[in-house]
Amino acid sequence: MDKVSVFIIYDRAIDEEILETLSACCIEKYTRWHDASGVGASGPHLGDHIWPALNNVMMAVVEAEKKDEILGKVRALQEEFPFVGLRAVVLPVLDMV
């Protein structure tokens, strides 16, 4: 079966909602990076005194068929939190050890 890697980059203010989303999709294995900085559509998240917000990044390797369910739930969260940075990116997993 083909696998994909789903990266979810989001404002850390919605960390609980992201964890609930993964749980609702029956995803129990993931990697999470805390306090990631960057600039996106929702503006700078640099963790400094001028731009204090920060992001978290969640990555899960899943069966390719699962990606549509995850992306659908991320889209629903984007509607629920329209002013909070939230993006999902899907990349193919070419090989894994």
Domains located in the chain, CATH noted: 3-92 (3.30.70.120)
- Average pLDDT over every residue of 63-90: 96
Q: What phi and psi, each to the nearest 5 degrees, are found at residue 67?
A: -65, -35
pLDDT value of position 60: 98
Those residues whose C-beta lies under 8 Å from the C-beta of residue 83, and which sit 6 or more positions away, are 42
Q: Where are the beta strands (DSSP E) in the chain?
A: 3-11, 31-36, 38-40, 43-45, 55-63, 86-92
Note the pLDDT of residue 41: 83
Confidence of residue 40 (pLDDT cuts 50, 70, 90): confident
